[in-house]
Amino acid sequence: MSQKQNPRRLEGVEAMAKVRTLRTSARKLNLVAQSIRGLKVQKALNELEFSHKRIAIDVRKALYSAISNAENNHNLDIDNLVVAEAYVGKNLIMKRFAARARGRASRIEKPFSEITIVVRELGEAA
């Protein structure tokens, strides 16, 4: 007796990709996510290709993964895909210390964050 299959969280014309450990703060990652929200995927890939932000390389890989999921797993047409959602969340924080004067120490926090990209296929009418 196997477990019942969970229902899909997304609609039939959507696909998702999630990257869980990106070595940047959520605030910096959200700037890159804002730049691709609502764009067609080809335009979003171009935006990420020529972005000066370091983390744009990893976001581009995540977008490629979402496009591949849409094509291979859900048989969606990649020419009609749009970045429907791109949202960011906090993840773990590595805590380090820096030596200070008189034997004291100060804390250095190295945050990680995660990004979720949902692509949606637009109909022919749109």
In the chain, % of residues over pLDDT 70: 97
CATH code for residues 15-121: 3.90.470.10
pLDDT tens for each residue of 89-98: 999 999 999 9
The confidence score (pLDDT) of residue 124 equals 60
The confidence score (pLDDT) of residue 125 equals 47
In whole angstroms, give the CA distance from residue 95 to residue 37: 32
Q: What's the average model confidence in pLDDT over 77-98?
A: 96
pTM of the model: 0.88
Are 16 and 117 within 8 A, CB to CB?
yes
Closest CA to 37 of 58, 59, 21, 53: 59
| 63 CA to centre of own chain | 7
Give the sign of the dihedral formed by CA 67, CA 71, CA 72, CA 74.
positive
pLDDT tens for each residue of 107-119: 999 999 999 999 9
In whole angstroms, give the CA distance from residue 57 to residue 46: 11
The confidence score (pLDDT) of residue 8 equals 80
